[in-house]
Structure 1
Amino acid sequence: MEARGDDEVSAGQHIQTSNVNAGLSESRDDRSNENTDVDEDGFSKHSTTLTNKQRGNEVTVRPATLDSLSIHQLAAQGEVSQVAAHLSKDSSLLSKQDERGFTPLMWAAAYGEKAMVDFLLEKGADPKTIARERESALTLASSGGYVDIVESLLRHGVDINTYDWNGGTPLLYAVRGNHIKCVEALLAKGADMTIESDSGYSPMALAVALGHKKIQKVLEDHILKLYKPTPT
């Protein structure tokens, strides 16, 4: 299975999506004096996690068989043939949402399963689906640093500036995770750098608060490119 982000992201890691923590959920006053209190694990105490147990990877005396896993878990593990078998029996599973509103495509995007993402999109999965707290496949892929999936989703016409429950956009999540390639890909496709989280953090402000200097440079270069005078 493919499970590589553009930084050190592992497939077994908890996926923090609606959880881009203090960087997006603390108040403007709280961040006025101290930038170092921005937690790099997420935006707030509220988190949306996809765990190994949920994926069916929990080590037990009797390991789960593929037949016992849901289509969401199979998608997260990149089991294309198993997912295909499920869909051949019930095509409605393609758009089935779990208790959080996550589709199989969203699970695959969250865990960097590019082959699965491509398969589901080819089968007609809707990449624009929004979960209960406004998470999207693009948000999940950006949060995990999976630039190949980000680029694939963007080619399918998703909203590049979609926001979740606390105002987190794909660009903000990519900045938070220090995922340079994702930031570059999103900016290249027109991601809005002026959108702020509910707490008032812009992508640049968040990069500064977290000390992500390479991300700052990417953002600065993009601004200069946007506003560079056209030669006459």
Structure 2
Amino acid sequence: MPPEPDAPPPALDDETVAFAGRVFQMARMGHAEELAALFGQGLPANLRNDKGDSLLMLAAYNGQAEATRVILEAGGDPELANDRGQTPLAGAAFKGEIGIARLLLDHGAAVDGSGAGGRTALMVAAMFDRTEMVDLLLARGADPDRRDAGGQSAAEMAQAMGASETPAQLAQAKRP
């Protein structure tokens, strides 16, 4: 008999919870071969933890390029935002992970993609003065004029955070 539509999901046993914890740790630590084997056995590539972080988010945020590639190739969604509205591309931008940002973009991440708050990877990169990341995102078509849900642009966010180089970099990008 199927569960009622509004019924809470069944409780997970301790063994299942422990297994899930190990899988998320594999993504964080970059255990690409182990993840690939689990995907081959049917593990869903878009598995998420209690904070909404997907395996892809954890691998990308922690600079695990090979694990990021394996997850993407297994069907990991590069647009799946976590509970804080952060996409894997924004996570890579925050950490300054250029190679991972390229990998995500090459596998379909929207350059101006965002979670619920409307904050894009360009905004995140600008806020933290990640000039190389800003260059990459602009070269891939990021919109420097886009605004988040609060109405702020990447340059305004960068100025508010005290970024020293990205406000001028973004102003230069807007010139014809």
TM-score bracket relative to the smaller structure: 0.7 to 0.9
**Please, which runs of 5 or more residues in structure 1 have no aligned partner?**
1-66, 228-232
Structure with bigger helix share is: 2
**Please, which runs of 5 or more residues in structure 2 have no aligned partner?**
1-18
Contact 2:35 2:70 (8 Å CA) reproduced: no
Instruction: Please give the alpha-carbon distance, in whole angstroms, between the structure 1 residues aligned to 2:164 and 2:86.
Output: 27
Instruction: Please give the alpha-carbon distance, in whole angstroms, between the structure 1 residues aligned to 2:159 and 2:55.
Output: 35
Instruction: Please give the alpha-carbon distance, in whole angstroms, between the structure 1 residues aligned to 2:74 and 2:20.
Output: 23
Partner of 2:52: 101
- The answer on 1:86 being equivalent to 2:27 is no
Deviation of the 1:182 alpha carbon: 1.0
Q: Which of residues 73, 77, 95 in structure 1 aligns to 2:25? A: 73
Q: Which of residues 110, 115, 126 in structure 2 aligns to 1:159? A: 110
Task: State the SS of the aligned residue for 2:38.
Answer: helix
Partner of 1:117: 68
- The answer on 1:174 being equivalent to 2:125 is yes
Structure 1 residues 96, 68: closer, same or farther in 2, change over 3 A? closer
Instruction: Please give the alpha-carbon distance, in whole angstroms, between the structure 2 residues aligned to 1:185 and 1:207.
Output: 17
Instruction: Please give the alpha-carbon distance, in whole angstroms, between the structure 2 residues aligned to 1:144 and 1:214.
Output: 17
Deviation of the 1:133 alpha carbon: 4.2
TM-score when normalising by structure 2: 0.79
Runs of 4 or more above 4 Å deviation:
none
Cα RMSD (Å) of the superposition? 2.2
Say how many residue pairs are matched: 159
State the identity as a percent. 26
Instruction: Please give the alpha-carbon distance, in whole angstroms, between the structure 1 residues aligned to 2:29 and 2:149.
Output: 33
Partner of 1:127: 78
Contact 1:109 1:117 (8 Å CA) reproduced: yes
Structure 1 residues 82, 92: closer, same or farther in 2, change over 3 A? closer
Instruction: Please give the alpha-carbon distance, in whole angstroms, between the structure 2 residues aligned to 1:88 and 1:204.
Output: 44
